[in-house]
Homo-oligomer: A and B are copies of this chain.
Amino acid sequence: MIRRLCIIGVGLIGGSLARALRNAGVCEEIVGSGRSVGNLEKAMELGVIDRFDTDPAIAAAGADMIVVAVPLGAMEAVFRAIQPVLGTESVLTDAGSAKGCVVDAARAVFGEVPAFLVPGHPIAGTERSGVGASFPELYQGRRVILTPLPETDLRALDRVTLMWQAAGARVSNMEVTHHDAVLAATSHLPHVLAFSLVDTLSRLEEHDEILEYAAGGFRDFSRIASSDPVMWRDICIANRDAILKMIDRYMAGLNEFTGMLREQDEERILETFRRAKEVRDGFVGH
């Protein structure tokens, strides 16, 4: 049971968590914080939060669970702002898509990784953003990865685990750098490729006509290019090395394919497509 939940960043991720926990009846009070008063007022109207303060320190004071769901680039500033009000009972967690940079931000602010910090990452989301896009079922059956450190208090880990499970998620643990490598491959790379595809097409001369004739394949492929640009800029910067490594691997693969196509090597092209289809068909089964 959470007595007072403080959500800093009441958008799609933070707002959906608040809604899920309220529906599950595991929160007595939910306090929101964020930079946009309009968004926080909307969160009040929608019943997502009970009250708010744009100052994260005031919002977090007295909270026994603080979830920071802001773009990665804003993480350190939030940690710095709430540091003075963190009590002995406070558990602090975040929802950032990369974890190494969150640990670095904590070290910069607290001098070490505090025992009450449990870095976390819900593998969920849509391309939409803001509290208006939030919904309580977002985490139902989805994975949440927590990346505790040797310093992490196991009771804090346990409380964050129970919170996400109450929201419907399946929680697992992973080492920080391993998380960042896996996510660079499964999430960050696809986003970069999608942004890059839309950007490439939009710079072609006939771009209006091209979008006119784009079919379902393009629609699905490029959906994630509608994601929040600030959030994704921050992810790219935060997980830069792992992402650059994945882009290199991808480019090597695409170069290999280009070679096959140039040589009209029908057999190897077919083999590549068959292998990809098999893997992708297997994924659907999850």
A233 → B minimal CB distance (Å) = 5
Instruction: Please state if A221 and B218 are interface contacts (CB–CB under 8 Å).
Output: no
Is A201 an interface residue, CB under 8 A from the partner?
A: yes
Instruction: Note all chain B residues with C-beta closer than 8 A to A192.
Output: 254, 257
A203 → B minimal CB distance (Å) = 7
Instruction: Please state if B224 and A221 are interface contacts (CB–CB under 8 Å).
Output: yes
Is A3 an interface residue, CB under 8 A from the partner?
A: no
Is A258 an interface residue, CB under 8 A from the partner?
A: yes
Instruction: Please state if A209 and B182 are interface contacts (CB–CB under 8 Å).
Output: yes
Instruction: Note all chain B residues with C-beta closer than 8 A to A247.
Output: 254, 258, 261
- Interface readout for A227-244 with B: 1 if CB under 8 Å, 0 if not? 111101100110010011
- Interface readout for A208-220 with B: 1 if CB under 8 Å, 0 if not? 0111111111111
Interface segment, one of A27-35, A56-64, A271-279: A271-279
Instruction: Please state if B202 and A270 are interface contacts (CB–CB under 8 Å).
Output: no
Interface segment, one of A6-14, A40-48, A155-163, A183-191: A183-191
Instruction: Please state if B273 and A215 are interface contacts (CB–CB under 8 Å).
Output: no
Is A226 an interface residue, CB under 8 A from the partner?
A: yes
Instruction: Please state if A276 and B199 are interface contacts (CB–CB under 8 Å).
Output: yes
Q: Given known contacts A270-B230, A280-B226, is B125 in contact with A216 (CB within 8 Å)?
A: yes
Is A196 an interface residue, CB under 8 A from the partner?
A: yes
- Interface readout for A95-122 with B: 1 if CB under 8 Å, 0 if not? 0000000000000000000000000000
A contact residues, range: 35 or more
A138 → B minimal CB distance (Å) = 10
Q: Given known contacts A145-B213, A182-B213, A213-B183, is B249 in contact with A195 (CB within 8 Å)?
A: no
Instruction: Please state if A190 and B218 are interface contacts (CB–CB under 8 Å).
Output: yes
Is A80 an interface residue, CB under 8 A from the partner?
A: no
Which of chain B's residues has its CB closest to A274's CB? B229
Instruction: Note all chain B residues with C-beta closer than 8 A to A123.
Output: 213, 215
Bound-complex Cα distance A195 to B240 (A): 24
16 additional A-B residue pairs with CB within 8 Å, beyond A194-B217, A240-B261: A143-B213, A187-B215, A190-B218, A190-B221, A195-B276, A196-B253, A196-B257, A198-B279, A200-B253, A202-B279, A203-B253, A214-B283, A222-B280, A222-B283, A223-B280, A236-B261
